Amino acid sequence: MPNNNQNNTPQQEVGLFPVIPGREPGIAMNQEPSLKGDIIFVHGLGGHQWNTWHWQQQNDSSRKVDDSWPFWLAKNPELKELNVWTFGYDSSQLGQSPPLLEQAELLLNCLRAKQIGQKPLFFITHSLGGLVVKTMLRLDQDRKDSPNNNTQTVLNTKGIVFLGTPHNGSVLASFAQILPRLLVSSTAEVLIPSDERLRDLNRWYQIYAPRLKIGTLPFYEMRDTWGVRVVDQASANPNVTNQEEIIGVPRDHIEIAKVQPADHFVDPHVKNFILKYLNDDNSDKFSRGKLRELIEKLTEGELNPCLDRFPALLKELERKKFIEAPVETILKYFDKRQEEYPDFLAAVAKHSRSTYNRIYGNQ
């Protein structure tokens, strides 16, 4: 919990911190069923779990830590069904190449430790914090076949807000120019991915965000930071097929995250974005019960052409044909590969529309 006394400005801490005191893990997710999910703030290079988001200077005598954007969102009556958290990590003194991966791993572990990710999840990210989140989701997705990993986090991520996040282009030179002003070590440059790593990560996101039905809301800065346009519009645009229209903000790279009172550039768009994706019923979201019912109602002639689209599943069915019932093999397959579930439903709708409609309704 941050201290409101400005003389005791909270130091950088590592971990996931609740914005509203008392909403601790377990209480929030298990004992308050009315809460629908979580919002996680993730700062960027040289950032801070509280200061990154505060609109006032640290030496302002009237400043209170809880008079800032994360707290305003947490107290917004329209978002009262969501917990709000802020993630802190050391982004100033980093070692050699793996740091981005390490920060992503830390975030994923923190989410699991707090039991976050079992319900709808939203991320509000600034700058390189957006890359930490994308890398974390990729880690979770890549481990879908690992024992004891159910990819809850990536599957329940409903939306990501990117504030000045570089998704493509050459950004190393731009960030290198502002590192001294951010009072971070020059070794922190290793957190900034190379052009190729940046493109590779964004290619993954362009493919999987639509498949996983992850909403995307990108913002870009319209002013220079100390004479440098750190992340321009082209770089800030992930170009995902299902994303919201990119929005320009008349702020620099640092100010874009410091939402001010009565802001109309960022906050209203973010609030509406969260409500839109929170209330999206995701009718084709994975449901084990409905899938079992669907498979049991399909004839062999209807089911086989649907399965033909999934070679890995066909191999599993062949391998386990004397071990377990086919319906169990299919259920276990989509348990681990829920991002393929909508494709299976589309195939069923094509080959047996009447059966599909009986279970899922006319959609």
What are the sequence ranges of the domains in the chain?
A: 6-278, 288-360
Domain 6-278 in this protein, CATH class:
alpha beta
3-state secondary structure of 201: helix
What value does the CA radius of gyration of the chain take, rounded to a whole number of Å? 22
Contact status, residue 233 vs residue 198, Cβ threshold 8 Å: no
- Cα distances (Å, whole numbers) of residue 334 to 57, 112, 123, 200: 50, 22, 26, 26
**DSSP 3-state of 205:** helix
pLDDT at 118 over 80: yes
**84, 83, 82, 89: which is closest to 109 by C-alpha?**
89
Residue 339 has pLDDT above 60, yes or no: yes
Place of tokens 């039991």: 115
Higher pLDDT, 310 or 90: 310
In the chain, the percentage of residues whose pLDDT exceeds 70 is: 79
Q: In this predicted model, what pLDDT tens digit does every residue of 186-226 receive, in sequence order? A: 434 445 666 778 889 999 999 999 888 899 999 999 999 88
Beta strand extents in the chain (DSSP E only): 15-18, 37-42, 82-88, 121-126, 157-163, 215-221, 247-249
* Stronger pLDDT, 256 or 46, i.e. the higher one: 256
**pLDDT band per the 50, 70, 90 thresholds, residue 174:** low
What is the C-alpha to C-alpha distance for residues 191 and 298, in angstroms, rounded to an integer? 51
Q: How many CB atoms within 10 Å of residue 311?
A: 9
pLDDT for res 282: 55
92 and 43 Cβ atoms separated by less than 8 Å? no
Is pLDDT at 27 greater than 60 in this prediction? no
Which residue has 């994923």 as its token pair? 108
Single-letter residue type at 166: P
Residue at 349: amino acid letter: A
pTM: 0.74
Residue 95 has pLDDT above 60, yes or no: no
